Chains A and B, each alone.
Chain A
Amino acid sequence: MAQNGGEINRKSEKVRRANRVIQNRTMILMAVLGVLVFVILLIKLFSLQILRHDELEAKALDQQTRSTEVTATRGTIYDRNGNIMAISATAETVFLSPLEMDRALNDKDNPVTWTKDSVAQKLSEILEINKEGILKKMERTDSQYEVLKLRVEEDVADQIRTLINDEGVVGVYMVTDAKRYYPYATLASQIIGFVGTDNYGLYGLEARYNDVLDGQTGLVVSTKDPTGNDMLYGYEQYYKAQNGSDIVLTLDATVQYYVEKALSEMVTSTEAQGATGIVMDVETGAVLAMASSPTYDLNDPSAVYESRLAALVKDGQLDLADAQLRQWRNRAINDTYEPGSTFKVLTLAAALEEGVIDENTTFDCSGSIQVLDATIHCSNRAGHGHQTLEQTAGNSCNPAFITYGLRLGTEKFYRYMKDFGLVNGSGIDLEGEALGIFAPQETASELDLACYAFGQNFNTTPVALISAQAACINGGYLHTPYVVERVVDSSGNVLSSHDSTPVRQVVSEETSALVRQCLEYVVSSGTGRNGQVHGYRIGGKTGTADKGNTGDVVLSFMCFAPADDPKYIMLLTLDSPTGEGRGGGGTVAPYASRIMGEILPYLGVEPSYSAEELLGSDTTVNYVIGMTVADAEEKLKAKGFSVKVIGDGDTVTDQTPEGGTVIPGKSRVILYAGSEKPDTLCTVPSLVGLSPSEANMAVSSAGLLLRFTGTTDSGSDSVRVINQSEAAGAQVEAGTVISVQLSDSGVTD
Chain B
Amino acid sequence: MQQSAVHKRLAFGRRSTQRPPRQASRPESIPRAPAGRMDLPFLLLTILLTVLGLVMLFSASFPSASYKQGDPAYFLKRQAIFALLGMAAMVVMSRMDYHRLRGMAKILMYVSIFLLALVLVPGVGIKENGATRWLGKVGVLTFQPSEIAKLAIIVYFADSISKKKNLMESFKYGVRPYILTLAFFAGLMLLEPHLSGTILIVGTGVVMMIVGGIDKRWAIGGLGGVAVLGFTYVKLVEAGVISYGADRIRMWEDPWIDALDEGYQMCQSLIAIGSGGLTGVGLGKGRQKFLYLPEEHNDFIFAVVCEELGLIGAALVMLIFALLILRGFWIALQARDRFGALLVVGIMTQISLQTFLNIAVVSGLVPATGISLPFFSYGGTALALQLFEMGIVLSVSRQIPAPRGG
The residues of A with any CB-CB pair to B shorter than 8 Å are: 12, 14-23, 25-27, 29-30, 33-35, 37-38, 40-42, 44-46, 48-50, 52-53, 55-57, 59-61, 63-64, 109, 142, 223, 225-227, 231-234
Contact = CB atoms under 8 A, between A and B. Distances in A.
A463 to B, nearest CB: 60
Most buried by A among B212, B290, B332: B290
Nearest to A40: B365
Given A56-B275, A60-B288, 4 more contacts: A30-B333, A226-B291, A231-B290, A233-B285
B274 A23 contact: no
Contact of B271 (A35, A45, A60, A234): A60
A27 B2 CA distance: 15
A25 B149 CA distance: 24
A687 to B, nearest CB: 81
Contacts of A25: 210-211, 213
B310 interface: yes
A56 B211 contact: no
B287 A223 contact: yes
28 contacts: A16-B7, A21-B213, A22-B211, A22-B338, A25-B213, A26-B329, A26-B332, A29-B345, A30-B325, A34-B352, A37-B352, A38-B319, A41-B359, A45-B306, A45-B314, A48-B270, A49-B276, A49-B278, A49-B306, A49-B314, A50-B277, A53-B277, A53-B278, A59-B275, A60-B288, A226-B291, A227-B291, A232-B66
Interface string B266-306: 01001111111110000011011011100000000000001
A63 B292 contact: yes
A234 B12 CA distance: 61
B6 interface: yes
Contacts of B48: none
Point out which of A42, A56, A234 has the most chain B C-beta atoms below 10 A from its C-beta.
A56
Nearest to B211: A25
Contacts of A26: 211, 329, 332-333, 341, 345
Given A16-B7, A29-B211, A231-B287, A226 B345 contact: no
B271 A59 contact: yes
Contacts of B273: 45, 48-49, 56
B69 interface: no
B267 to A, nearest CB: 8
Interface string B177-197: 000000000000000000000
B348 A19 contact: no
Contact of B338 (A18, A63, A232): A18
Contact of A38 (B207, B284, B288, B322): B322
B104 interface: no
A563 to B, nearest CB: 78
Interface in B340-368: 341-342, 345, 348-349, 352-353, 356, 359-360, 363-365
Nearest to A25: B211
Contacts of B311: 45-46, 49-50
B113 interface: no
Given A29-B345, A225-B291, A63 B284 contact: no
B242 interface: no
A15 B12 contact: yes
Nearest to A65: B287
Contacts of A12: 7
Given A14-B166, A19-B6, A109-B68, A33 B275 contact: no
A29 B365 contact: no
Contacts of B62: 232
By secondary structure, the A interface counts as: helix
B356 A41 contact: yes
Interface string B131-172: 000000000000000000000000000000000011010000
A30 B284 contact: no
A53 B312 CA distance: 14
B74 interface: no
B287 A64 contact: yes
A12 B319 CA distance: 39
B14 to A, nearest CB: 10
A64 B274 CA distance: 14
Contacts of B342: 22
A33 B326 CA distance: 8
Interface in B235-292: 260, 267, 270-278, 284-285, 287-288, 290-292
B274 A52 contact: yes
A48 B341 CA distance: 37
A14 B356 contact: no
> Range of interface residues on chain B?
35 or more
Contacts of B319: 38
A223 B168 CA distance: 60
A226 B213 contact: no
Contact of A23 (B10, B210, B349): B10
Closest CB pairs A-B (n = 9): A56-B274, A60-B275, A30-B329, A33-B352, A34-B326, A225-B290, A19-B10, A49-B311, A18-B165
A18 B166 contact: yes
Contacts of A142: 260
Contacts of A234: 287, 290
B17 interface: no
B330 interface: yes
Contact of A17 (B166, B276, B287): B166
A52 B174 CA distance: 47
A659 to B, nearest CB: 77
B332 A42 contact: no
B363 A48 contact: yes
Nearest to A32: B352
Counting chain A CB atoms within 10 Å of each CB, the highest count among B63, B210, B287 belongs to B287
Nearest to A36: B356
A234 B285 CA distance: 8
A225 B292 contact: yes
Contacts of B287: 60, 64, 223, 231, 234
Contact of A33 (B291, B292, B338, B348): B348
Contacts of A223: 287, 290
A560 B163 CA distance: 124
Contacts of A15: 12, 165
A30 B168 CA distance: 21
A57 B286 CA distance: 12
Contacts of B359: 41, 45
A14 to B, nearest CB: 5
A491 B168 CA distance: 90
B274 to A, nearest CB: 2
B224 to A, nearest CB: 15
Interface in B206-239: 207, 210-213
B124 interface: no
A650 B332 CA distance: 133
B3 interface: yes
Nearest to A234: B287
A169 to B, nearest CB: 19
A44 B269 CA distance: 13
A35 B345 CA distance: 15
Contacts of A33: 325, 329, 348-349, 352-353, 356
A46 B342 CA distance: 34
B121 interface: no
Nearest to A63: B292
A22 B213 contact: yes
Contacts of B363: 41, 44-45, 48
A725 to B, nearest CB: 74
A55 B274 contact: yes
A7 to B, nearest CB: 13
B212 A20 contact: no
Contact of B277 (A57, A61, A64): A57
Nearest to B325: A34
Nearest to A58: B275
Q: Which of A14, A49, A226, A231 has most B Cβ within 10 Å?
A: A49
Contacts of B92: none
